[in-house]
């Protein structure tokens, strides 16, 4: 396979195409030419070139249209516009549209070579940046997964031994020693919880989950989630107010993970609310979607925290103020909701409260839903 960088030249003037092809011949690049925009775009799809030279003024599909389409197909492809002296202003316009550079006609072979070298260097850097970003992302996920996995077994062993130790020493420890042992146990419990949560975030196999999708009653999932959060709410004297249209259509999904996501969101609303306040859970249908809204009048979230809440291991100001939690609940919830072709968003005002909205596509037909 020829893995030399590919250059595509799109121009309606034969003489330009020929001279460019001649300059490139025998070089480290391979060149393909197209005499109009339509053919050019077809070649972009087929060949995925690294660099495209495109004439701005062509009959039929214009250079501007080519630029726009290339940007849609693959924005990392570097584009250079070829233009006559009289149209430098449109070249500037093209650069505003994402073209990397422009080459005024007539140009010398050296000018063409220089711009080609620079364009390909830009493409190389761009691809390298994308690869590095991807690698960083993979490392972040895998590193945490590997560490969590490796930590789980020894932590389980420590927990088990502590349990035996506690039994054997029962009645022989001073109050102070007992308190210290309790602290050790609780720290180990916390660590194990963290390890399990992280493994859960990275191990929910979304592909597999989708294979088992069936009609799910959103009302049943919300009820189950509230049931599980209720004891916590009672302890904080928080009332969970429910407002649900009971004729909601079902959605296509997995009731267990969907309930898990809702437990996280409703649980957070309770966790970050003040004692004696209310949390509102609403479900309604809008534009073929089921919207589940969870609002609280609690601590709220500073604007700078908002973009990071769903990233994993991120605890906002409100999170840091309470002890419990590892900043993983919303990351897992988002993965689950996105696997359901849904979205999750948040609006919040510091000191006034937060509103999380989950939107899930409603099922068109009305088969009998899963028990929830």
| Nearer CB in complex with ligand ADP: 224/326 | 326
**CB of 305 closer than 8 Å to CB of 317:** yes
Which residue is listed with tokens 């020829």? 2
**CB of 31 closer than 8 Å to CB of 113:** no
Question: Near ligand ADP by CB under 6 A, which window of 76-84, 95-103, 228-236, 327-335?
Answer: 327-335
Q: How far apart are CA 203 and CA 223, in angstroms?
A: 26
Asked if 326 is part of the footprint of ligand ADP (rule: CB under 6 A), the reply reads yes
* Residue 25 Cβ vs ligand ADP, minimum distance, rounded to whole Å: 58
DSSP, residue by residue, 127-158: HHHHHHHHHHHHHHHHHHHHHHHHHHHHHHHH
Q: How many residues bind ligand ADP (CB under 6 A)?
A: 23
* Residue 46 Cβ vs ligand ADP, minimum distance, rounded to whole Å: 44
**CA distances (Å), 352 to each of 121, 263, 348, in order?**
51, 22, 8
Asked if 295 is part of the footprint of ligand ADP (rule: CB under 6 A), the reply reads no
| Nearer CB in complex with ligand ADP: 221/268 | 268
For ligand ADP, the binding residue among 316, 337, 340, 369 (CB under 6 A) is 316
Question: Near ligand ADP by CB under 6 A, which window of 77-85, 173-181, 215-223, 319-327?
Answer: 319-327
Judged by DSSP in three states, 299 sits in coil
Judged by DSSP in three states, 231 sits in helix
**CB of 78 closer than 8 Å to CB of 48:** no
**Cis amide leading into 106 (omega within 30):** yes
Judged by DSSP in three states, 35 sits in coil
Asked if 11 is part of the footprint of ligand ADP (rule: CB under 6 A), the reply reads no
* Residue 179 Cβ vs ligand ADP, minimum distance, rounded to whole Å: 26
Q: Is 85 exposed, middle or buried (0-12, 13-18, 19+ CB in 10 A)?
A: exposed
Q: How far apart are CA 161 and CA 353, in angstroms?
A: 44
Indicate the length of the chain as a whole number.
372
Structure tokens at 176: 């102070």
Asked if 325 is part of the footprint of ligand ADP (rule: CB under 6 A), the reply reads yes
| Nearer CB in complex with ligand ADP: 56/330 | 330
Footprint on residues 16-75 left by ligand ADP (CB under 6 A) = none
Asked if 329 is part of the footprint of ligand ADP (rule: CB under 6 A), the reply reads yes
| Nearer CB in complex with ligand ADP: 316/342 | 316
Footprint on residues 265-284 left by ligand ADP (CB under 6 A) = 268-269, 272
Question: Near ligand ADP by CB under 6 A, which window of 97-105, 109-117, 137-145, 320-328?
Answer: 320-328
Question: Near ligand ADP by CB under 6 A, which window of 79-87, 116-124, 234-242, 261-269?
Answer: 261-269
* Residue 195 Cβ vs ligand ADP, minimum distance, rounded to whole Å: 14
| Nearer CB in complex with ligand ADP: 31/270 | 270
* Residue 269 Cβ vs ligand ADP, minimum distance, rounded to whole Å: 5
Q: How far apart are CA 253 and CA 276, in angstroms?
A: 35
* Residue 282 Cβ vs ligand ADP, minimum distance, rounded to whole Å: 15
Structure tokens at 301: 């979230």
Asked if 330 is part of the footprint of ligand ADP (rule: CB under 6 A), the reply reads yes
Q: How far apart are CA 310 and CA 137, in angstroms?
A: 15
* Residue 266 Cβ vs ligand ADP, minimum distance, rounded to whole Å: 9
Dihedral over alpha carbons 168, 174, 175, 181 (to 10 degrees): -50
Residues that bind ligand ADP (CB under 6 A): 264, 268-269, 272, 296, 298-301, 309, 314-316, 318-319, 325-331, 354
């Amino acid at each position: 396979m020829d893995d030399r960088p590919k250059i595509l030249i799109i121009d309606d003037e034969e003489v330009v195409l020929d001279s460019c092809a001649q300059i490139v011949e025998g070089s480290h690049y391979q060149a393909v030419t197209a005499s109009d925009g339509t053919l050019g775009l077809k070649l972009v799809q087929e060949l995925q070139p690294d660099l495209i030279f495109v004439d701005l003024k062509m009959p039929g599909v214009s250079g501007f249209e080519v630029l726009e389409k290339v940007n849609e197909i693959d924005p990392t492809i570097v584009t250079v516009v070829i233009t006559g002296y009289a149209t430098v202003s449109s070249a500037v316009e093209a650069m505003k549209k994402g073209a990397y550079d422009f080459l005024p006609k007539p140009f010398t072979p050296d000018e063409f070579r220089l711009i080609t070298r620079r364009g390909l260097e830009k493409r190389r850097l761009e691809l390298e940046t994308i690869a590095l970003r991807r690698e960083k992302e993979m490392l972040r996920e895998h590193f945490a997964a590997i560490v969590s996995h490796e930590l789980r077994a020894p932590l389980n062993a420590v927990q088990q031994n502590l349990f035996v130790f506690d039994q054997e020493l029962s009645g022989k420890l001073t109050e102070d020693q007992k308190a210290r042992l309790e602290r050790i146990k609780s720290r180990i419990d916390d660590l194990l919880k963290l390890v399990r949560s992280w493994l859960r975030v990275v191990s929910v196999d979304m592909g597999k989950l989708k294979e088992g999708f069936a009609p799910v009653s959103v009302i049943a999932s919300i009820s189950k989630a509230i049931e599980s959060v209720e004891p916590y709410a009672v302890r904080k004297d928080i009332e969970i107010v429910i407002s649900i249209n009971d004729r909601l259509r079902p959605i296509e999904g997995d009731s267990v993970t969907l309930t898990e996501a809702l437990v996280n969101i409703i649980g957070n609303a309770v966790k970050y609310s003040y004692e004696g306040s209310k949390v509102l859970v609403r479900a309604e249908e809008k534009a073929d979607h089921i919207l589940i809204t969870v609002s609280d009048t609690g601590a709220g979230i500073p604007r700078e925290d908002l973009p990071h809440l769903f990233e994993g291991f991120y605890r906002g100001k409100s999170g840091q103020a309470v002890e419990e939690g590892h900043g993983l609940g919303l990351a897992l919830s988002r993965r689950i909701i996105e696997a359901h072709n849904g979205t999750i968003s948040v609006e919040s005002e510091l000191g006034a409260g937060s509103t999380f909205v989950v939107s899930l596509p409603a099922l068109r037909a009305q088969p009998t839903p899963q028990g929830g």
